[in-house]
Structure 1
Amino acid sequence: MCTSESEPWCFTVLRSSGLHLLRPEKSWRPIITIQVESKGGSVDCDATPYHETTLGSDGQNPNQKEIFYIHDVSPYSKISIKVWHRSQSKKKRKRILVANACHMLRELVKEHNEPEQCLDVRLNTLPGTAKRHKGARPGMWPKLSLRVRPPSIPKLHHEEPLFDDDDLSCYSDSMPPTPSSTDPTLSGQGDLIVLPPPTEQELKRRLQPYIIDSDDEMTPLLIDDNAYLNSAPPILPQYSETEKPEDLPPMGVTQRIVASFTMYAELRDETHYERAFSRQQMEWTYVGGLLTAMAAVDTAVFSISPDTLFVINPIARSFIALSSTACGLGIFCDAWFIFRYNFVPLDTARVRSRDMFGSYFFFSLQARVPIICMLMSGMSLMGFLGVVAWSVWPTGLLVLSFLVGVLMTLQFLVFGAWWFVGKVMCMGRKIGRAVKWLVGRGSGEGTSNTP
């Protein structure tokens, strides 16, 4: 079984089935890599090039026009097919091998005669990757459907016929005896028994089954073409990169206001929920650390004695009391959210975050309570420091506050100045055109009145 090195092997990944049993995620996109052993190399060698494609969450390949061309391989080369999983939420996003398969190229095409063969390759699962799902039948194995086009189908089948040793022995028994076969002994030079090449009709002949304890042949099984086509898996993919999800209902005025300072717009979209929830968990972690630092500052302020260098009046004490209260409430709310949502699976967190109306409106609003408390605590602490600094150096406080305010609102000041200058210039041009029109009209009337 030899092929021409100038003609490549062509592979196309069509679809997969049963891969949802390999990962606990509800929907994930398998990454398929195909690697063929090259001359002088290994099939798992890093230097061996590989081809990669990504399937949809339903197991269909959205780009079935993508064909992998593999050159300079023989039918006895090994092909390695691997299925990888990459997390969409983790930072490093390292790929994890979940299934693989390894075969010779000749094993994939030895029982097919079509120029382009669609075959199912059974995948071997790795220990610890399979997960029992509801409705999963015993013996269900993941499979990958491929379209394979060998270099030269007629040449392959001519050089490796589709019958085994038993068929050859039956075929030789049915042939008439030849002069060399009737000779009881072979000559000293080693005469060979030369058989004529089998015809195409004999190659396609298959043994007919018989019914047990009967000499009658089994009646052939008739299959309806329509029933066969209806039971076949769909050829066209059910998933597309350009496919647009269903539009969500438009948000009302209250929802838009809440979405302006929360993650409600991302949480209500199921495709963006995982990413938005990960950002919310990260926010709780950072806010918890900042609230702890502010609580330490407030505690230190409470320990200041009345006869210190700085005078603390009742207004300053009110500010520090408000800061400590907001800080304590923020720490409590942050600890509650971390305890309830950070150490549970994503599906459980999704169920817990829904309110009584089946939406994420109230959860998105409550999730921002810790950072709102941190903002209130920070503003109160700033007010306390400002009151204390005013009693010591009022001029420095006013100048520094003015500079910080200008820098924080610089874009609005520049835009306001640009808008004002533009309006003044536009008004000037209009006034100039009006003056020219009046001057021109007056000169025209004076010329017409001249005798």
Structure 2
Amino acid sequence: MFASESWYLTVVRTQGLLFIRPDKSWQPIVSVAVVDPQQSHEVVLGCDGQNPNQKAPFTLRGVDHTSFLDVKLWHKSRSKKRKKRHLVGSAYITLREVLQRQERPGSDVDIRLSCPTSQKRSPTIGGRQQRSATLTVRLVAPEPIPSTSPTNTASDDDILDEDELDRRSTGSSSHSPSETLVPASQSRDETSPDLSGLVESGLRRRKKPRIKGYHIDSESDCDGSSSAASSCPPTPRDDDLTQIEETKDDDYESYFPHHERSYNSGSPTTLAPPWGLLSAFSLPRHVQDHDTNQSIPLSFLEACVDCFAPYRELRDAVEDAEFDKVLSRLLMEWYVVAASLLALTGIDAAVFGLAPGSILPIGGFAQHAVAFGAIAAGLGLVSVSWFLVLYAGANTARFRRVATDVYGSYFFFSLTCRAPTLCMFLSALALMLFLLSVAWAAWSTAVLVMSCFAGVLFSMQYLIFGCHRAVNFCVWIVRTAWRAAVRREVAAADARPAPEVRAHEGGRAHAHMVPDVRERMPASVPTKGAIVHEEIVEVECEG
């Protein structure tokens, strides 16, 4: 259909590529080959997976909707000795499928890459993300050029401004919706005769700069290119929006009776109803922000399970990435626990094989401890094998389906998913008790010293915290007792009577001296009586 025109393909970025260790930077190489006709294009991306030159797209000539694209992503070592490329991911897709995935013409599309399986299967998160690598591309397809009349051949400089055309066409009459709303198919044909006459009169139009938007996290222009912008409807004028907003509560039939009848009659001068404008005003201008982080509080049993299991994460998870994160963490834990349980089982089996006349005597407590440890290791090994069988090769959908219990929750899965780890802890504890009981018979002092040292080392923070609080409590008691004693002495001094002043004849007044109070009070505590005693002196008064 458009085989004679060119298509434009832009490689934007890549995501989910963990071909080598993340600490080594590398630049992916993307090659795009067209199967029929044979074409090949290649671009080198940056270390972050972004295309630094997005303004230079691939030009695909002689292709149509049925043409296949062979997309491959390569890794090449920077060393001079290794020049061979390694295939990281590939995809085989048609141009039609790329166009169908676009939300609008020229928008970005994520293409899922098929990554080759590595020789060493890793249960880590990186190994799982390698299988979900994507390549983001942008495809711009050619569009058919609409046929134009011979009269509409004036250049952009010979066309008047839209506001000037409205003023000339409407004159002094008021603008009605039927006169201003013109469909795109008819506006070109109807305004062409007027434009030709206006061009002959010498009137010219000043060009207005076109406002272009930009994508977030991209250096290229927005998806609305020239081809995409031409397919969009024209922006309504301000007077149209004002009239519609003033009457948006009225019924459409009552507001546009003549307009609707003329539209149905099919006359060449009729106008189409502004469905797009009316629907735009029906949308809310503000959406209240909702708090999505609020979760339902847990019950007592759920809170107990959530202390040692990811119950809250599974219950509040919504997207597949959140479930995938929990599954990856549990798989890593199960692999480690399985290896530890195998080691503990081997040790317990070796202890059972000891002869009665060995170097160290094994008593009844030691036998019971090793028997308990062997039982816990066996149960843990069976449970972890069961979990690995169910969830080792499961995707996110299968994990959610299998982990859900009969009540539609993840309570019982969370209760049992940590059972292998608990069995490993019990088996290790039983092995420790067995070794301590056997070593007690040979050297009891070393057992006590090493046990106390290990206990103090693991509980050091609590011991230091307790000593700190005890010292603070003793200091508080001493300060409180000292303040109480000082207040008691001050209150006793304030309760004593003040000295008396007697008036004598001859115009002289003498103060009745009282015994010194400071002799009965501590030197460091000033009292009211002592202050009064120092201030009372013999005063001569004039008659």
- TM-score w.r.t. the length of structure 2 is 0.46
Q: Paired residue for 1:339, among 377, 381, 389? A: 389
**What CA distance in whole angstroms lies between the structure 2 residues aligned with 1:279 and 1:410?**
30
| 1:443 positional shift | 3.3
**What CA distance in whole angstroms lies between the structure 2 residues aligned with 1:367 and 1:287?**
12
Residue 120 (1) aligns with residue 105 (2): yes
**What CA distance in whole angstroms lies between the structure 1 residues aligned with 2:436 and 2:467?**
30
| 1:425 positional shift | 0.8
| 1:346 positional shift | 0.9
Aligned partner letter, 1:334: V
Residue 253 (1) aligns with residue 300 (2): yes
Change over 3 Å in CA distance of 1:348–1:439 after alignment to 2: same
Q: Paired residue for 2:402, among 352, 366, 387? A: 352
Residue 78 (1) aligns with residue 127 (2): no
| 1:397 positional shift | 0.1
Secondary structure at the aligned position of 2:355 is classed as: coil
**What CA distance in whole angstroms lies between the structure 2 residues aligned with 1:408 and 1:312?**
29
Higher relative contact order (CA 8 A, sep 6+): 1
Aligned partner letter, 1:440: V
Which residue does 1:323 correspond to in 2?
373
Which residue does 2:532 correspond to in 1?
none
Residue 361 (1) aligns with residue 408 (2): no
**What CA distance in whole angstroms lies between the structure 1 residues aligned with 2:48 and 2:375?**
62
Instruction: Within 5 Å, give how 1:36-435 maps onto structure 2.
Output: 44-46=43-45, 78-79=56-57, 120-121=105-106, 170=150, 199-200=158-159, 205-206=188-189, 219=268, 222-227=271-276, 230=279, 244-245=291-292, 247-271=294-318, 272-435=322-485
Deviations 1:169-214 (A, max 9, x none): x459x9xxxxxxxxxxxxxxxxxxxx9998327x984499xxxxxx
Change over 3 Å in CA distance of 1:380–1:143 after alignment to 2: closer
| 2:311–2:410 CA contact under 8 A, matched in 1 | yes
Change over 3 Å in CA distance of 1:220–1:253 after alignment to 2: farther
**What CA distance in whole angstroms lies between the structure 1 residues aligned with 2:412 and 2:292?**
25
Deviations 1:144-183 (A, max 9, x none): 899xxxxxxxxxxxxxxxx989859x459x9xxxxxxxxx
| 1:43–1:79 CA contact under 8 A, matched in 2 | no
| 1:245 positional shift | 1.7
**What CA distance in whole angstroms lies between the structure 1 residues aligned with 2:93 and 2:480?**
77
Change over 3 Å in CA distance of 1:318–1:236 after alignment to 2: farther
How many residues matched? 301
Aligned partner letter, 1:251: L
Change over 3 Å in CA distance of 1:251–1:234 after alignment to 2: same
| 1:101–1:124 CA contact under 8 A, matched in 2 | no
Change over 3 Å in CA distance of 1:165–1:330 after alignment to 2: closer
| 2:108–2:139 CA contact under 8 A, matched in 1 | no
**What CA distance in whole angstroms lies between the structure 1 residues aligned with 2:480 and 2:58?**
77
| 1:334 positional shift | 0.3
**What CA distance in whole angstroms lies between the structure 1 residues aligned with 2:48 and 2:395?**
37
| 1:225 positional shift | 2.2
| 1:382 positional shift | 0.6
Which runs of 5 or more structure 2 residues have no equivalent in the other structure? Answer: 1-11, 13-40, 60-87, 96-102, 115-135, 163-186, 192-265, 500-513, 516-543
Percent same amino acid at aligned positions?
A: 25
Change over 3 Å in CA distance of 1:315–1:99 after alignment to 2: same
Which residue does 2:170 correspond to in 1?
none
**What CA distance in whole angstroms lies between the structure 2 residues aligned with 1:379 and 1:234?**
65
Change over 3 Å in CA distance of 1:420–1:125 after alignment to 2: closer
Aligned partner letter, 2:473: K
**What CA distance in whole angstroms lies between the structure 2 residues aligned with 1:396 and 1:251?**
47
**What CA distance in whole angstroms lies between the structure 1 residues aligned with 2:377 and 2:47?**
58
Deviations 1:33-58 (A, max 9, x none): xxxxxxxxx99454799979xxxxxx
| 1:332 positional shift | 0.2
**What CA distance in whole angstroms lies between the structure 2 residues aligned with 1:164 and 1:340?**
58
Deviations 1:321-351 (A, max 9, x none): 0000000000000000110122111111112
Secondary structure at the aligned position of 2:361 is classed as: coil
Aligned partner letter, 1:245: T
**What CA distance in whole angstroms lies between the structure 2 residues aligned with 1:300 and 1:336?**
25
Aligned partner letter, 1:267: L
**What CA distance in whole angstroms lies between the structure 2 residues aligned with 1:420 and 1:365?**
40
| 1:263 positional shift | 1.4
**What CA distance in whole angstroms lies between the structure 2 residues aligned with 1:269 and 1:253?**
17
| 1:228 positional shift | 5.8
Deviations 1:285-339 (A, max 9, x none): 1111100010011111111111110000111000000000000000000000110
| 1:223 positional shift | 3.9
Q: Paired residue for 2:492, among 414, 419, 442? A: 442
**What CA distance in whole angstroms lies between the structure 2 residues aligned with 1:44 and 1:236?**
43
Which runs of 5 or more structure 1 residues have no equivalent in the other structure? Answer: 1-12, 14-41, 53-67, 82-94, 103-117, 130-141, 147-162, 175-194, 209-216
Larger Rg: 2
Instruction: Within 5 Å, give how 1:11-22 maps onto structure 2.
Output: none
| 1:101–1:122 CA contact under 8 A, matched in 2 | no
**What CA distance in whole angstroms lies between the structure 2 residues aligned with 1:49 and 1:302?**
57
Secondary structure at the aligned position of 1:381 is classed as: helix
Aligned partner letter, 1:261: F
| 1:237 positional shift | 11
| 1:334–1:370 CA contact under 8 A, matched in 2 | yes
| 1:119–1:145 CA contact under 8 A, matched in 2 | no
